[in-house]
Amino acid sequence: MSGGNVQVRMKRHPQGMVSPGDFDIVEAALPTLAEGEALVRSRYLSLDPYMRPRMDPLRSYVEPLKLGELMPGAGVGEVVESREPALPRGAIVAGPLGWQTHGVVTRANARVLDPAMGPPSAALGVLGMTGVTAHYGLLKLADPKPGETVVVTAASGAVGSVAGQIAKIKGCRVIGIAGGADKCRYVVDELGFDACVDHRAPDFEQQLAQATPDYVDVLFENVGGPVFDAVLQRIADHARIALCGNISQYNTKEPYGVKGMRQLLMHRVAIHAFVIADHRDYWPTALADLSVWVREGRIRFKEDISVGLRSAPDAFIRMLTGRNFGKQLVQVE
Ligand SMILES: NC(=O)c1ccc[n+]([C@@H]2O[C@H](COP(=O)([O-])OP(=O)(O)OC[C@H]3O[C@@H](n4cnc5c(N)ncnc54)[C@H](OP(=O)(O)O)[C@@H]3O)[C@@H](O)[C@H]2O)c1
């Protein structure tokens, strides 16, 4: 094999919003494979909001990143060398490749993709972690009933777009919250939500009240902060919240103080916080549904693809500031 590896590593802990100077881009030697490993040339890298909290030196559900460590992340690519029969040369696989041109995977942490399921990049989105997250949070935890009102925040994004479309499939009235008119138009016209409210509009709270005349039975929460508080003002008795993400707080040094404790108590709201990494067993259940719904055109998805591994830091910042439109990916080469 010729050529080396290029990696993006964390150079320093971000102070507030991530900046390009928080990363180092370095050339490294290709790894030598041990028995049971395969070397993968990365085609697509997934950029996900969870990577931002991992850059902070704080207690979490996984060890925080250390200075100089490779940025973590799922990727899709081609096996170019293998010492694992289940991952043969030429196979297209998804696994934890990290922000680099070449990564090593094993049978335990990679899956060989079936081309009949959809394009390989979808294995990082609707037919991968973000799709499974939407399915789990909505159906396993919040369990919406037909006719109930479901609100989804970050509704045009990778997780939110799928959560809302599943809620429509289940017969719910679905309201999205997204940033800007273009995203809201997409959420209603392309994804089929019943309405979408722009959280940047000056009359956001009034628009949300108009869109939720029967209050909110289920909130699929991706954002936190003032958007979360606005939905709590509209929460129904015995509502369920799938607490999936808190992206508005990932880059702030002064966390927002939630004001809606009264609403949570008065309306006897159940909050189900979850991290999909705890639920590997659930993937087959979710993918069985999602692959059918995608094939039937009942779930649509959009990708925002940035070109070149070296563009990853900028693309990551774009996503964290809401300038992505769809599942954020990097086309590595
Ligand atoms: N619990 C889990 O296991 C799990 C797994 C995957 C993802 N997540 C969480 O799910 C959420 C969505 O992730 P994703 O991958 O689907 O990303 P995404 O929605 O495709 O992209 C992030 C979006 O967040 C919104 N956003 C960013 N800053 C915001 C702010 N200050 N206020 C309001 N909205 C803001 C932006 O949308 P707008 O322009 O519409 O505001 C942005 O496009 C994240 O919070 C993530 O951490 C959790």
Q: Which amino acid is located at 18 in the chain? A: V
Q: 119 alpha carbon to ligand 1 midpoint, in Å?
A: 23
> What is the number of other CB atoms lying within 10 angstroms of the CB of residue 289?
17
CA separation for the pair 45, 96 (Å, rounded): 9
> Contact, 237 vs 267, CB < 8 A?
yes
* Region 154-165 average pLDDT: 98
Smallest CA separation from ligand 1 atom 46, residue: 245
Tell me the per-residue pLDDT of 15-51, one tens digit each, with 9 for 90 and over.
Answer: 999 999 999 999 999 999 999 999 999 999 999 999 9
Name the band, by pLDDT with cuts 50, 70 and 90, for residue 252.
very high
Tell me the per-residue pLDDT of 267-323, one tens digit each, with 9 for 90 and over.
Answer: 999 999 999 999 999 999 999 999 999 999 999 999 999 999 999 999 999 999 999
Is the CB of 9 within 6 Å of ligand 1?
Answer: no
The two tokens of residue 101 are 């041109």
Query: Is pLDDT above 60 for 1?
Result: no
Q: 321 alpha carbon to ligand 1 midpoint, in Å?
A: 9
Tell me the per-residue pLDDT of 199-242, one tens digit each, with 9 for 90 and over.
Answer: 999 999 999 999 999 999 999 999 999 999 999 999 999 999 99
Ligand 1 atom with minimal separation from the 183 CA: 40
Q: 86 alpha carbon to ligand 1 midpoint, in Å?
A: 35
Is the CB of 322 within 6 Å of ligand 1?
Answer: yes
Place of tokens 């170019």: 80
Of the chain, the percentage scoring pLDDT greater than 90 comes to 97
The predicted pLDDT at position 3 comes to: 72
- Partnered with residue 221 across adjacent β-strands are 243
In order of 62, 160, 197, 273, 278, the CA distances from 50 in angstroms are: 11, 15, 25, 14, 14
- Decide: helix, strand or coil at residue 259: coil
Q: Which residues 6+ apart lie within 8 Å of 255 measured at CB?
A: 249
The predicted pLDDT at position 288 comes to: 97
* N- to C-terminal Cα separation, the chain: 17
Of the chain, the percentage scoring pLDDT greater than 70 comes to 99
Q: 304 alpha carbon to ligand 1 midpoint, in Å?
A: 14
**41 versus 116: which is more confidently predicted?**
41
Q: Which amino acid is located at 28 in the chain? A: A
Domains in the chain, please, with CATH? 4-124+302-331 (3.90.180.10), 129-277 (3.40.50.720)
Is the CB of 43 within 6 Å of ligand 1?
Answer: no
Query: Is pLDDT above 80 for 2?
Result: no
Tell me the per-residue pLDDT of 54-95, one tens digit each, with 9 for 90 and over.
Answer: 999 999 999 999 999 999 999 999 999 999 999 999 999 999
**CA neighbours closer than 13 Å in the CB half-sphere of residue 13:** 13
